[in-house]
Amino acid sequence: MTNVLRYIYISDKDITHEVSKMERVLITGGAGYIGSFVVRDLRAQGFEPFIIDNFYSGHKEAIKSFEYEKIDLVTEKEKLEKIFKEKSFDAVIHL
């Protein structure tokens, strides 16, 4: 898997721009099978992944070298809001 985020589609502006600098990317479900490959590829491309996962089917071992937060997006909305207040992200990948 290569060039996961070479281009980002921005739906509200209906444009696509090429990513050229290191950007912080939030990945929900990043500890799952697909997500763990995505975050490794992002890092290899120079991005800074931040993972949110509830670990229902994901595994901490798969992302042990990454910054992550255990959050259930359905029941722990206040934790999610806190993350967005404390950190900034250039892109979000929702898996």
* Cβ-Cβ contacts under 8 Å for 42 (sequence gap 6 or more): 4, 5, 25, 27, 49
- The answer for 8, left when phi > 0, alpha when psi is -120 to 50, beta otherwise, is beta
> What is the model's pLDDT at position 1?
42
* Cβ-Cβ contacts under 8 Å for 76 (sequence gap 6 or more): none
Residue 11 pLDDT more than 80?
no
The predicted-structure confidence for 69-78, as pLDDT tens digits, reads as follows 999 999 999 9
> Per the confidence metrics, is the pTM higher than 0.85?
no
The predicted-structure confidence for 33-58, as pLDDT tens digits, reads as follows 999 999 999 999 889 999 999 999 98
**Cβ-based burial of 69 (10 A; exposed 0-12, middle 13-18, buried ≥19):** middle
> What is the model's pLDDT at position 63?
93
